[in-house]
Amino acid sequence: MYKVMLIDDEKSIRNLLRITVDWESLGLEICGEASSGIEAINIIDDLKPDIVFVDIKMPFMDGIEFSQIAIKQYPKLKIVVLTAMNEFEYARKCVGIGVKEYLTKPIVREEVRDVLTRLVKELSERVDDPHEENADKVPSASYGGMNDICDFIKGNYKNSELNLTYIANKFGFNPSYLSRRFKEETGMSFIDYVTRCRMEKAIEYLHVRTAMYITAREVGVPDPNYFSKCFKKYTGKSYSEMMKEET
């Protein structure tokens, strides 16, 4: 089955997409969802979707920004932009950056199914280079070990685009290979390591009573909702709870 990711800051839209289509009959499954472009960029390496539905207007990182980053990292990704009628001309610009389709809201079941049918056909006909995705690239001569990558992450945690594919491209590795190697070397997944770096720095900001939205931006997670999820998962407490304990 091909995997589909849903990205929209409105949960009602994500839920509507889930129930609008008989995904299994098309050979598809929903592998995950995100409420912002920032959250999506952070989890896309783990989900590895074939098709993405993304709202064109979201806070902190809109659908076009997300699409530019995602297509650069995953050139074969099929992106469907969701747009309101008055954003139609804006949405047409997305075609120039590699977006495959766009749908207008309110969502129409038949239109969604038609788009998915076309994309599944394209995916089925695609002939992959067997060496392209699976071959482990040879590290560059300047690569000195996993410490180089860890140091780079520590020095660049503020970059909201920092994810597995970004690092793999920089250091000359296939992302899948780097993911395995990173866990073997550090004992944790890549995303967990990046999150730990960011949340440890966030705790430092909390100690000096920095507002959450500022802290979120400073540690590379400018979406406060996603930052809040990450912080509570890492510390077991919300940002506000921990700040109250500091008083």
Most confident of 68-82, 124-138, 141-155: 68-82
Secondary structure (3-state) at 170 = helix
Res 140: pLDDT: 43
Res 131: pLDDT: 42
CA dihedral 21, 27, 33, 39 (to 10 degrees): -140
CA distances (Å), origin 79, targets 52, 64, 66, 190, 246: 5, 10, 10, 25, 44
Residues of the chain with CATH 1.10.10.60: 146-246
Residues of the chain with CATH 3.40.50.2300: 2-127
Interval 211-224: pLDDT, tens: 999 999 999 999 99
Res 89: pLDDT: 66
Cis peptide before 106 (omega within 30 of 0): yes
Res 154: pLDDT: 95
Rounded-to-integer distance, Cα 151 and Cα 147, Å: 6
With 0-12 / 13-18 / 19 or more C-beta atoms within 10 angstroms meaning exposed / middle / buried, residue 147 is exposed
Q: What is the mean pLDDT of the chain?
A: 87
Number of neighbouring beta carbons within 10 Å of residue 209? 9
Measured over all CA atoms, what is the biggest interatomic distance in the chain, rounded to whole angstroms? 61
Number of neighbouring beta carbons within 10 Å of residue 28? 20
Interval 176-200: pLDDT, tens: 888 889 999 999 999 999 999 999 9
1, 27 contact by CB (below 8 A): yes
Residue 74 backbone dihedrals phi, psi, to 5 degrees: -130, 80
Most confident of 17-26, 66-75, 80-89: 17-26
Beta-sheet pairing, 2-7 with 78-83: unpaired
Rounded-to-integer distance, Cα 125 and Cα 139, Å: 32
How many residues are given for the chain? 247
Distance of CA 150 to the CA centre of its chain: 20
109, 20 contact by CB (below 8 A): yes
Give the domain 146-246 fold: Arc Repressor Mutant, subunit A (1.10.10)
Rounded-to-integer distance, Cα 112 and Cα 20, Å: 8
Instruction: For residues 60-84, give the mean pLDDT.
Output: 89
Rounded-to-integer distance, Cα 76 and Cα 126, Å: 9
7, 34 contact by CB (below 8 A): yes
Which option is the CATH number for 2-127: 3.40.50.300, 3.40.190.10, 3.40.50.2300, 3.40.50.2000?
A: 3.40.50.2300
* Joined tokens for residue 18: 């889930």
With 0-12 / 13-18 / 19 or more C-beta atoms within 10 angstroms meaning exposed / middle / buried, residue 227 is buried
What percentage of the chain reaches a pLDDT higher than 70?
Answer: 87
